[in-house]
A and B are shown apart, each in its own frame.
Chain A
């Protein structure tokens, strides 16, 4: 196996010991040097001495997006301004942006994290890597750039826009790896086709490092079929540094480098860890970040966690594809339900469309969940029993996937509300 740093295959007990050492150090540092964190820890009734095992991380208070926003611009910084060598900002779609500062060491470990991921996906000094993420305040472009340079690949900092020129560069510079959003890669494929360029035959492109938006295995297959490109998932947010973790060539989840990061996947409602492999909220502690410490940051992203050693030999934990946002979660009869699960079920059925609406009500003491879906005109055939069969099949499939009883209503195409941007799929009529 080719790896970037031998630490990637460190035996799990040693890795855990290292994590604990670094966690203790982090807590001690925050308690000692940050009045803000000290106050938060006091409110939570926890002192550095209370952290004796890795599980004790759960005694520490959470950080939320709101804390980060309230800290604008630099109230949460631990490093002095002269130690800061770079700033990025998260997109401020819901208010003020979050400013993230980096020390020299922060940039180094961020690049190290990306470098390990790239090597695990098969990137090396012989590769030419085109970065089609935005360069600028958004951390995607520079994050990939530094990681790729570190492993010795030649970087084409194409950023976003001017797709035809991007395609010329891919062809003329023998680009082998592209880092972009999955939808932009598909767009590149379409534009290339119009230009008479076949990505598969006329270019050397073989690998896509894709992220920054939700995508699916179906999209992965489509990219492979249409463009002949193997696609791996990459994840990160600017609060944590930027793009950080990506899938290895096994394509079985993203390796989270345990020497730098402690991840938890928690039930968003109770804050308790979910069993391995089950969905929950990704909560991240960055063990060595200097300028902008991150402790138990609730990302709001829904994923799964496995600590099994990967087929590639790497021992660090892996997270699965991001499956949605916690904000979208609803609790029905004590079961956490994500609209993305419903969407996934419906996508596999050719007889109904992709639009849907979830209506949750309370009848007596019992929650009821109704999923409304639109019939595809081609699926209608005059017979009621055919419609009933579609309905029963969907109800069954949803019940299997969500573990909660669901009734299905088939509605006319075009009758459900359409949304520009973020869809509001859930109508919760329960009165508490």
Chain B
């Protein structure tokens, strides 16, 4: 059984109520800690949201944000490499039909692009994505 832990990427999930510039407050903490943001998304709920961030130093970032009063939690996500061309996402989705994705977000990282996903069962997800011939990024690419 191959080790799948290297595909698990630590994402920060930050609870944020709908107040002006909460994103700015998060970004400020990260800036002051000289932490680089690799990717992020904002999910909007009713009266609150979740800010999800990938950073180069997640442990330090979590400590600093917690200290600043934020509610922060680690969530394990997967990063799938995509071709940076029309149809890149489609090719991917064709090969991950049987996987239950809870949420995802993408970004360009020339020469390729990346799709970040949270799947229901991460172990099963990794095996099934690898079996489908997808290219999962190793977490050394992030932190």
Indicate if the CB atoms of B15 and A380 lie closer than 8 Å: yes
Q: Which residue of B lies closest to A413 (CB)?
A: B71
Which of these binds chain A: B45-53, B109-117, B126-134? B45-53
Check A388–B45 contact: CB distance below 8 A: yes
Closest to A381 in B: B73
- Tally of contacts, chain A with chain B, CB under 8 A: 47
Q: Given A382-B13, A382-B52, A415-B17, are A391 and B71 neighbors across the interface (CB < 8 Å)?
A: no
B73 cross-chain contacts in A, Cβ below 8 A: 380-382
Residue of B nearest to A382 (CB): B13
A311 at the interface (CB under 8 A from B): no
Interface size classification for chain A:
10 to 19
Report the stretch among A22-30, A63-71, A404-412 that lies at the interface.
A404-412
Tally chain B residues at the interface, Cβ within 8 Å: 19
Tell me, rounded to whole Å, the shortest Cβ–Cβ distance linking A386 to chain B: 10
User: Is B5 engaged at the interface, CB distance under 8 Å to the other chain?
Assistant: no
Q: Give the docked Cα–Cα distance between A384 and B48 (Å).
A: 9
Which chain B residues border A377 with CB–CB below 8 Å? 71
Bound CA span A415–B48, Å = 13
B75 CB contacts on chain A under 8 angstroms: 382
A319 at the interface (CB under 8 A from B): no
Q: Are A414 and B52 in contact (CB under 8 A)?
A: no
Q: Which of B17, B45, B102 is the one whose CB lies under 8 Å from A412?
A: B17
Tell me if A383 counts as interface (CB < 8 A to partner B).
yes
B86 is an interface residue with CB less than 8 A from chain A: no
Q: Is A412 touching B15 in the complex (CB atoms < 8 A)?
A: yes
As a 0/1 sequence over residues 5 to 16 of chain B, the CB contacts with chain A under 8 angstroms (1 = contact) are 000000001011
Whether B45 contacts A375 by the Cβ 8 Å rule is no
| With contact pairs A412-B17, A415-B17 given, residues A380 and B45 touching in the complex (Cβ less than 8 Å) | no
User: Which of chain A's residues have a CB closer than 8 A to the CB of B46?
Assistant: 388, 391
- Residues of the B chain whose Cβ atoms lie less than 8 Å from the Cβ of A381: 13, 73
B60 within 8 A of A: no
The reply to whether B102 and A411 contact each other, CB–CB distance below 8 Å, is: no
13 pairs, A vs B, C-beta closer than 8 Å: A375-B71, A381-B13, A381-B73, A382-B50, A382-B52, A388-B45, A391-B47, A409-B17, A409-B48, A411-B48, A412-B16, A412-B70, A413-B69
Known: A381-B73, A412-B70. 17 other contacts (CB 8 A): A380-B15, A380-B71, A381-B13, A382-B52, A382-B73, A383-B102, A384-B43, A384-B50, A387-B15, A387-B45, A387-B50, A388-B45, A388-B46, A410-B17, A411-B17, A412-B69, A415-B17
Interface, chain A (partner B; CB < 8 A)? 375, 377, 380-384, 387-388, 391, 409-415
